[in-house]
Amino acid sequence: MNTVVCPQCGSSNPDKNEFCQWCYAPLHPESTSGFGGSESASIDLPDWLKEAGPLPPSPTEASDEELPDWLLSLRQASETSDFGEEIQPTSGEESFLTPDLEKILSADKDEETETLTQPEPLAQEDLTEWISRLQGEEATEEAPFAAESTPLTGQSEEELPEWLKALREQEEPPVPETYVVEGEATSPLPEPEPFVAESLPEWLKDLSTLSEEGKEAETLPTEEVAQGPEVEEAGLITPEAIPPFTEIPENITAWFEETPASIFENRSSGVYESTPTPEEFTPTTELPPTDEIPEESPEVIPAFSEEDYAAWLDHLKIEETLEEGNLAAQIPAFVDNGIAETAPSPETIVPPFIESELPEWLAEAESPAEGAESGVTPAAQLPEWLEAMRPVEAVAPTPPHAEEEDTRIETSGPLAGFQGVLPGEPEALRYSRPPIHAVRLNVSEKQRAYAALLESLVTAESTPTPLRVQKQVTAPSPILRLAITIVLFAILITGWASATPPSALPTLFPAEAVAFATTINNLSAQHPAPRVLVGLDIDAGFLPEIHTATINTLSDLMRQDARLVFLPLQSNAPVLGLAMAQEAAQQIPGYALSEQSVHLGYLAGETTGLAAFAYQPRLGMATTLEGQPAWDTQPLIGVNSLQDFDAILLITDSGERARGWIEQLRPLFSERPFLVISSAQAAPYLAPYVQSEQINGMLTGLLGSILYTRLTPKVGGENLALWSAYQWGSLTIALLILLGALAGATQALFQAQKSRSKR
Amino acid sequence: MTDALWSLIAFVLTLAVLSYAIGDNPLFRIAIYTFIGISAGYFAAILIDQVIIPRLITPLLSPSASVGLMAIPLLLSLLLLARLSRRLSFLGSLPMAFLVGVGAAVIINGALFGTLFTQVRAAGLPFTPAQSSPSGWLTGIVLLFGTMTTLVYFQFTGRREPGKGIVRSPWVEWMARIGQVFIAITLGAFFAGVILASLTVLIGRLDFILQSINTLAP
């Protein structure tokens, strides 16, 4: 594996690394440059200069045809003087002044040179003497600053600027150099504060050292100082070399106040050594507003663009043109003479400061100044077409790379070692496409099946389904009904009249019938004169079915001298109860029906009335059928609850009503026999209760009557005529049902064949 | 004489009802209307004579009875009469609610303790050692199977499938079909019982007609 030696720390790193793994310095400095210039140049330049873009072309590169006339004239004038060459930066160093500014400065200095006496090489002593007087640190106070400056310049008192006049009037010790440098001459200081040597920048300290060394050379002319090579090395220009000015603008004053002293320290070394100090150009120029100068980046201060300098020069010339008369009285004589001697003829001067003749780019450069003068910075407004072309990331809450941390570390320049410096590469160049997501749903087969089922269900719910047309059941024709009636009546009458049943009387007896007969006949053996509650829950229409069984049962009970309590639950039951009791009593001559039996009144409420009677017999039914107090009668004496009865005999033709009797009374009467005489239609309904032994015995319909008669032989008990008609009638009905079923099936077959033949 | 008159009236009314064999006719209608009217009148007379007078009026008029206790059924009865008026029908809701609530409670209580619990216990009786026998086991299995299949038949929970409606699982479907057979047998038994009961009533009426003819005939 190839290794690369870090140029900063000297450690070896893998060749694939772009940054040192020890000090995070870039291993390939050329890769960090975002510009396409020569590699050597981009490496040597600091970061801020790299990001500032390519350097402007040198003045020699620009052709004369591309320059405006006024600038050409200035250039021609500068070529006649060699003073400008003196302030040209040394070879190999970059000057932040544009060629235009350098020309202007060289022209001004040329004029001063012509105004003054021919200078000689400036001696070191002369320079130090002047500076020492300028700093005002002369302890001897031999002569005021004005007296020393007068022979140098030879100017009258009126020709001096106001700030210089104020200095003379005060006749105080010379103004400290910081006082001049910072441009505070516009406001006289009542009590200048003592200066601390440590607070001075290094270049000023050097100057102080020089002034102490050359105190003897106090009277040297400033012209010589301005041309001294030492001055060039120190990057200083004497106050005499400062172009005349009327007063220091306030913005410049504020700028000097706010600018830290370190700025001037840096100017003594590096690329700024040959560039003019703020003291050199502030009196003659009007710097842009202080708000346009970044406070924390002093390196950016001299980096004025070409347009700024052009605007500044334009403004400067306009002021000189318009206030020429006023300025003449204030400009010192030496400056005025210089201007007069070097000023070209009006014919040769191209009026460069007429707005109408300014180039377009220069005229446009003035418009921002107007906005700045109003003090209101207009908000950035993009045209609509540009707003529409903005990428989505521009209006998104967070840019796609907003959260990425910039790990790049500056390797050179004043920001070397810092991390997260704003890159020179535009954000737009790092644009990345948004992630692409699949539109297709990721569902499984099971989910797909559920979705299909749900869709089919929704569709089925919304689809109307045709209703089935039920066939209307039509009654048989009157003739058929009459024929069936006649046949049935004939058979019944024939069977009743013949008294010959188709089958013999049954010899096998159901268990419930046997239990019923046994219980009734053995009731007196367990309870002498048993008290039996007879429930009458029957319609009169079904009386013939159970009439025989009921009469025979009641007569058997009367024969055992039972006390019968009739409780009707139907409206016509009381009458039926009376009739059946009288008919049964006729078979037992010695039975006192009126004393041994009692007919309670109609029990209203059906099931609710039964429940009330079961829990509270005396409250459930208080009176007899005749309206007398029931519980004072002989059969009910001593009865307070349902358990005081020895047996319950229910005579019913309805299974539903019989169920109510069983449900309400049987739980409270579980130890005593519960017997039922029911119609044939209620027998299937009561069969489960017989199976569960809730009914101890039961007689059903006509068959039950025959069975009970056969189980308890009585004289004339078997009604063979009725039984014969019943047998024949049952067979006839079964046959008719069978014939009807066959007829229906045949009709259905014919209809099916018809439908098939139609298809 | 009186019995002969009442027998004649009964004979005529019986023939009038049997005339329905040839279709709806005025005799049948007269007999039906007469029966309904007499039954309603008789029922009202029974209610007044057997319920209202002895169980409400007499206690209120009796000095020994508690008037306050009897005022409650009286008030409820009067409120029940308010249902005859549309404006005051809401007053009858209170006695109706009382009747329905008490009736439902009585029926549910009787159904639970008089039918459900006892029938569940009875379903296991054939399998008890005391009543175990081959016929008892067979009867018990048939009854248990019939009960289960009948209950399954009334289980209508199923899954709705597209184009087929509600579909039950196959084993539930087969059990329901067997239960349907048991239900058909039960309904057949009920129908047979109704026919036999009606046949007995018809035989009784024919007997009455023949006896009446013998009695009324000179």
Residues A645 and A636: their CA atoms lie apart, in Å, by 9
pLDDT greater than 60 at residue A683: yes
pLDDT greater than 70 at residue A188: no
Contact of A686 with chain B, judged by CB distance below 8 Å, is answered with no
* pLDDT of B34: 94
For an interface test with A, the pick among B43, B50, B198 (most A C-beta atoms closer than 10 Å) comes out as B50
Residues A602 and A514: their CA atoms lie apart, in Å, by 32
Instruction: Give the chain B residue nearest A692 (alpha carbons).
Output: B122
Q: pLDDT exceeding 90 applies to what percent of chain A?
A: 15
Contact of A691 with chain B, judged by CB distance below 8 Å, is answered with yes
Average pLDDT of the residues in A142-150? 42
Residues A725, A726, A731, A732, Cα dihedral to 10°: 60
For an interface test with B, the pick among A462, A491, A662, A663 (most B C-beta atoms closer than 10 Å) comes out as A663
B contact residues 58-87, partner A, Cβ 8 Å cutoff: none
Contact of A727 with chain B, judged by CB distance below 8 Å, is answered with no
The most confident of A52-61, A114-123, A176-185, B26-35, by mean pLDDT: B26-35
Angle, CA of A501, A502 and A506, to the nearest 5°: 75
Helix (H, G, I), strand (E, B) or coil at B122: helix
Average pLDDT of the residues in A281-291? 46
Instruction: Give the chain A residue nearest B194 (alpha carbons).
Output: A681
Residues A520 and A673: their CA atoms lie apart, in Å, by 9
Closest CA to A650 of A635, A633, A664: A664
pLDDT tens profile A461-485: 888 877 777 767 676 777 888 888 8
Q: Mean pLDDT in chain B?
A: 87
Cβ–Cβ below 8 Å for A664 and B49: no
Contact of A485 with chain B, judged by CB distance below 8 Å, is answered with yes
DSSP conformation letters of A186-202: GS--SSPPPPPGGGS-H
Are A675 and A648 in contact, with CB atoms under 8 Å apart? yes
Instruction: Residue A667: list chain B partners with CB under 8 A.
Output: 113-114
Average pLDDT of the residues in A386-401? 60
Q: Which residue type occupies B107? A: I
Are A334 and A155 in contact, with CB atoms under 8 Å apart? yes
Cβ–Cβ below 8 Å for B118 and A692: yes
* pLDDT of A659: 92
Average pLDDT of the residues in A253-271? 53
Average pLDDT of the residues in A447-464? 88
Instruction: Residue B19: list chain A partners with CB under 8 A.
Output: none
Q: pLDDT exceeding 90 applies to what percent of chain B?
A: 35
Report how far apart the first and last C-alpha atoms of chain A are (Å, whole number). 93
Confidence of residue A396 (pLDDT cuts 50, 70, 90): low
The distance of A623 to chain B (nearest Cα, Å) reads 7
Residues A711 and A522: their CA atoms lie apart, in Å, by 13
What is the CB neighbour count within 10 angstroms for residue B156? 8
Burial class (CB in 10 A: 0-12, 13-18, 19+), A518: middle
Q: Which residue type occupies A519? A: T
Instruction: Residue A457: list chain B partners with CB under 8 A.
Output: 160, 162
Dig out the tokens for B127 from the structure: 């399998």
Instruction: Residue B98: list chain A partners with CB under 8 A.
Output: none
Residues A203 and A210: their CA atoms lie apart, in Å, by 11
Instruction: Residue B196: list chain A partners with CB under 8 A.
Output: 680-681, 701-702, 730
Are A341 and A112 in contact, with CB atoms under 8 Å apart? no
Dig out the tokens for A127 from the structure: 């320079």
Are A667 and B114 in contact, with CB atoms under 8 Å apart? yes
The most confident of A195-199, A434-438, A592-596, A625-629, by mean pLDDT: A592-596
* pLDDT of A424: 66
Does A377 or A60 have the greater pLDDT score? A377
Query: B209: which DSSP letter?
Result: H
Instruction: Residue B102: list chain A partners with CB under 8 A.
Output: 608
Closest CA to B79 of B65, B101, B63, B96: B96
Instruction: Residue B119: list chain A partners with CB under 8 A.
Output: 688, 692
* pLDDT of A429: 66
Helix (H, G, I), strand (E, B) or coil at A725: helix
Q: Which of A478, A667, A681 sits opposite B23 (nearest CB)?
A: A478
* pLDDT of A4: 78
Are A642 and B98 in contact, with CB atoms under 8 Å apart? no
Q: Which of A611, A685, A726 sits opposite B203 (nearest CB)?
A: A726
Does A486 or A130 have the greater pLDDT score? A486
Helix (H, G, I), strand (E, B) or coil at A14: strand
Cβ–Cβ below 8 Å for B207 and A722: yes
Are A709 and A703 in contact, with CB atoms under 8 Å apart? no
Are A530 and A521 in contact, with CB atoms under 8 Å apart? no
The distance of B45 to chain A (nearest Cα, Å) reads 9
In chain B, domain spans: 132-218
DSSP conformation letters of A46-81: -HHHHHT-SPPPPTTTS-GGGS-HHHHHHHHHHHT-
Please report the domains of chain A, with CATH numbers, ordered by start residue.
3-51 (no CATH), 67-371 (no CATH), 506-717 (3.40.50)
Instruction: Give the chain B residue nearest A602 (alpha carbons).
Output: B50
Helix (H, G, I), strand (E, B) or coil at B45: helix
Average pLDDT of the residues in A281-288? 45
Average pLDDT of the residues in A540-548? 84
Cβ–Cβ below 8 Å for B203 and A493: no
Buried/exposed A13-31: b ≥16 CB within 10 Å, e otherwise: beeeeebbeebbbbbeeee
Dig out the tokens for A587 from the structure: 């078979």
* pLDDT of B182: 94
pLDDT greater than 70 at residue A190: no
Instruction: Residue B103: list chain A partners with CB under 8 A.
Output: 607-608
Q: Which of B118, B199, B201 sits opposite A733 (nearest CB)?
A: B199
Dig out the tokens for A145 from the structure: 């600053």
Are A421 and A392 in contact, with CB atoms under 8 Å apart? no
pLDDT greater than 90 at residue A62: no
Cβ–Cβ below 8 Å for A663 and B115: yes
* pLDDT of A749: 93
C-alpha to C-alpha distances, A205 to A75, A173, A256, A266, A269, nearest whole angstrom? 37, 19, 19, 13, 14
* pLDDT of B150: 92
Are A386 and A1 in contact, with CB atoms under 8 Å apart? no
Contact of A602 with chain B, judged by CB distance below 8 Å, is answered with yes
Residues A639 and A631: their CA atoms lie apart, in Å, by 8
B contact residues 119-148, partner A, Cβ 8 Å cutoff: 119, 121-122, 125, 143
Residues B196 and A109: their CA atoms lie apart, in Å, by 148
Query: B6: which DSSP letter?
Result: H
Angle between helices A655-665 and A607-615 (to 10 degrees): 30
Q: Mean pLDDT in chain A?
A: 69
Are A675 and A697 in contact, with CB atoms under 8 Å apart? yes
In total, chain A counts a number of residues equal to: 759
Strands (E), A448-558: 531-537
Instruction: Residue A543: list chain B partners with CB under 8 A.
Output: 204
Residues A237 and A217: their CA atoms lie apart, in Å, by 17
Residues A212 and A203: their CA atoms lie apart, in Å, by 14
- Residues 6 or more apart whose CB falls under 8 angstroms from that of A185 comprise A163, A164, A166, A167, A175, A179, A248
How many beta-carbon pairs below 8 A join chains A and B? 153
The distance of B178 to chain A (nearest Cα, Å) reads 20
Residues B99 and B91: their CA atoms lie apart, in Å, by 14
Closest CA to B79 of B66, B90, B64: B90
Buried/exposed A110-122: b ≥16 CB within 10 Å, e otherwise: bbbbbbbeebeeb
Report how far apart the first and last C-alpha atoms of chain B are (Å, whole number). 14
Residue in the block written with tokens 């003749």: A357
Does A732 or A623 have the greater pLDDT score? A732
Are B122 and A688 in contact, with CB atoms under 8 Å apart? yes
Confidence of residue B185 (pLDDT cuts 50, 70, 90): very high
Residues B175 and B164: their CA atoms lie apart, in Å, by 20
Residues A697 and A690: their CA atoms lie apart, in Å, by 7
pLDDT tens profile A202-258: 665 555 555 555 444 444 444 444 444 444 444 444 445 445 545 555 666 666 666
Closest CA to A642 of A661, A665, A622: A665
Contact of A670 with chain B, judged by CB distance below 8 Å, is answered with no
Residues A370 and B148: their CA atoms lie apart, in Å, by 103
Contact of B200 with chain A, judged by CB distance below 8 Å, is answered with yes
Instruction: Give the chain A residue nearest B122 (alpha carbons).
Output: A692
Complex-level ipTM: 0.87
* pLDDT of A638: 86
* pLDDT of A127: 52
Instruction: Residue B209: list chain A partners with CB under 8 A.
Output: none
Average pLDDT of the residues in A427-441? 73
pLDDT tens profile A562-573: 999 999 998 888
Helix (H, G, I), strand (E, B) or coil at A726: helix
* pLDDT of B123: 82
Does A81 or A581 have the greater pLDDT score? A581
The distance of A391 to chain B (nearest Cα, Å) reads 51
Helix (H, G, I), strand (E, B) or coil at A724: helix
Cβ–Cβ below 8 Å for B110 and A683: no
Dig out the tokens for A561 from the structure: 């001298």
Residues A504 and A600: their CA atoms lie apart, in Å, by 41
Average pLDDT of the residues in A393-400? 53
pLDDT greater than 90 at residue B184: yes
pLDDT greater than 50 at residue A281: no
Least confident of A98-107, A151-160, A225-234, A484-493: A225-234
A448 CA to centre of own chain:
29
Instruction: Give the chain B residue nearest A670 (alpha carbons).
Output: B114
Residues A677 and A674: their CA atoms lie apart, in Å, by 10
Average pLDDT of the residues in A499-504? 83
* pLDDT of A118: 46
Instruction: Residue B189: list chain A partners with CB under 8 A.
Output: 684
Contact of A492 with chain B, judged by CB distance below 8 Å, is answered with yes
Residues A102 and A88: their CA atoms lie apart, in Å, by 8
Cβ–Cβ below 8 Å for A572 and B47: no
B166, containing H or E segment: strand B165-167
Residue in the block written with tokens 């039926």: A576
C-alpha to C-alpha distances, A628 to A582, A598, B54, B63, nearest whole angstrom? 20, 10, 9, 17
* pLDDT of A278: 45
Confidence of residue A690 (pLDDT cuts 50, 70, 90): very high
Residues A570 and A537: their CA atoms lie apart, in Å, by 6
* pLDDT of A221: 43
pLDDT tens profile A322-339: 555 454 445 555 554 544
The distance of A398 to chain B (nearest Cα, Å) reads 51
DSSP conformation letters of A582-609: HHHHHH-TT--HHHHEEEB---TTTHHH
Instruction: Give the chain A residue nearest B200 (alpha carbons).
Output: A545
Residues B4 and A667: their CA atoms lie apart, in Å, by 47
Strand B165-167 versus strand B159-161 pairing type = antiparallel
Confidence of residue B37 (pLDDT cuts 50, 70, 90): very high
Confidence of residue B58 (pLDDT cuts 50, 70, 90): confident
Residue in the block written with tokens 């009467």: A669
Instruction: Give the chain B residue nearest A722 (alpha carbons).
Output: B203
Residue in the block written with tokens 């560039």: A275
* pLDDT of A734: 92
A contact residues 613-632, partner B, Cβ 8 Å cutoff: 622-623, 625, 627
pLDDT tens profile B138-161: 888 888 899 889 999 998 888 877
For an interface test with A, the pick among B96, B106, B159, B210 (most A C-beta atoms closer than 10 Å) comes out as B106
